[in-house]
Amino acid sequence: MQRRTFLRGTAVAALAAVPLTHLASAGAAEAAAPVASLAALQTAINSAAPGDRIVLADGTYTVPSGGISVSGRNGTTDAPITIVSETRGGAVLQGERSFVFSNSSNITVSGFAFRQSTSLELPANCSRIRLTRNDFRFADIDGLYWVVVRADDAKIDRNHFHDKTTAGIFIVVDGPGSTAMAQRLHIFRNHFSDHSFGGANGGEPIRLGVSGRALSGANAVVEYNLFERCNGDPETISVKSSDNIIRYNTVRDSVGGIVLRHGNRSRVEGNYLLGGTDGLRLYGNDHLIVNNYLSGLSGRALVVGSGTTRDHNSGETTEERRGNDACDRAVIVHNTLLNNSGSLSGETRAFEPRNVVIADNLLVGATGSLVAMGTTTAFTWQSNILWGAASNGNAPSGGYTRVDPKLVAGSDGIARLSAGSPAIGAATLASPAVADDIDGDARGSARDIGADEYATVPPARRPLTTADVGPNAA
């Protein structure tokens, strides 16, 4: 696809000053010269075709109340329409709105600094909208949701969401109507930081659904994101829909944890939750919790939740749907819980969790109880290792071995198995299959207990740092 370029209000001589990152892929001799006003930007967008790249010159722009319209513009999968800041963060969009999307697809928005005072929406009549390498710091307005996703196949990657002191959510995922979910959203390589709202609810970095949409599958993937000092809510990633994957994220020094609050059949895999308050909390049915590492948490590390109802269903009242659905048929396998104030625990609502498998996990602690479950029914406890000065609590005999796992901290501060650990080759749960560990090492046929599979090679995956995420990430 031949990429068109836009020359709006800029001298030809300025072309030589355009950074190499803005060269069009159709040929090194062709570059998209920046447009220098919002009027010129709107004109370029109005005539954009697949493969076009529109560059807005660096500067601070006050967007009119109607916003920058992206309406009826459709790129293709191989040739999206790209709207980009001249340099990353160089074009600052302030005012009530920024981009207003409608009836558009395959649009990429990259490199802007968003400073608006209302939500940026990806509506249901759009698809394949990508927000990448942007800086989001909206007006600090109580209750403001920053990015609201209703479109299918959206991507939100390599952005920085930061600095909010009031209630409101960085990314809210809904869908069309009142019960459906946006499909196949991919949220990855973002940095979420410094949400300091002190209330008890309403400040999640990500809320994936809402109670009325809980039974709808979203098929979203939230992976490789870093959360730091996210203290606006006890839920850093709040899942209120079904059929999602939450994996390879790092939550550090944050009040919130990963909470499957509503919905069924989600997979939580390979996440690090380090030095904050809460860890994982589970409600709903048929989840897989595998290869997670929870360390130094001052609150509850892993909660198998009880319910105000057994199962959510389509005939519930609104109030019933807001209640907790008891956790049934979850599989909790190959997780490491290390030196947390509350390790593995339950709750005391009317409907107890049932038919949960807790196998091949490693629990180590110095104080309190390693296991403090409430009432349960038909749990399977198998091949767990408990260790440390903390008591066993009410872990059932036969479901664990008390033995030193011989953990050694690496240069990244993560404690892994050392040679001769009794955890090596001691896992026994045959199904579901677990192909690799939290580091990316193959499990093989003789699997180890805990999140780590003993290996002598450097880990392929580690806890994320700011170099791994945000606008300048690879």
- Domain with 192 in it: what CATH number? 2.160.20.10
Q: Structure tokens of 120?
A: 């940026």
Task: Provide the CA 164 distance to its chain's centre, in angstroms.
Answer: 18
Vertex 88 angle, CA 84 and 90, to 5° = 90
163 in any annotated domain:
yes
Contact 85, 106 (CB under 8 A): no
88 in any annotated domain:
no
Q: Please give the residue range of the domain that contains residue 169.
A: 158-468
Q: Structure tokens of 218?
A: 């979203």
68 in any annotated domain:
no
What does the pLDDT look like over 249-264, one tens digit per residue?
999 999 999 999 999 9
Is the bond into 432 cis (omega within 30 degrees of 0)? yes
Distance CA 244, CA 212 (A): 16
pLDDT tens for the 474 residues of the chain, in order: 333 333 323 332 332 333 333 333 333 335 578 999 999 999 999 999 999 999 999 999 999 999 999 999 999 999 999 999 999 999 999 999 999 999 999 999 999 999 999 999 999 999 999 999 999 999 999 999 999 999 999 999 999 999 999 999 999 999 999 999 999 999 999 999 999 998 888 999 999 999 999 999 999 999 999 999 999 999 999 999 999 999 999 999 999 999 999 999 999 999 999 999 999 999 999 999 999 999 999 999 999 999 999 999 999 998 899 999 999 999 999 999 999 999 999 999 999 999 999 999 999 999 999 999 999 999 999 999 999 999 999 999 999 999 999 999 999 999 999 999 999 999 999 999 999 999 999 999 999 999 999 999 999 999 999 999 999 999
65 in any annotated domain:
no
**Number of domains comprising the chain:** 1
336 in any annotated domain:
yes
286 in any annotated domain:
yes
320 in any annotated domain:
yes
Report the pLDDT value the prediction gives residue 31, as an integer from 0 to 100.
Answer: 59
Distance CA 140, CA 189 (A): 24
384 in any annotated domain:
yes
Distance CA 266, CA 288 (A): 7
What does the pLDDT look like over 3-22, one tens digit per residue?
333 332 333 233 233 333 33
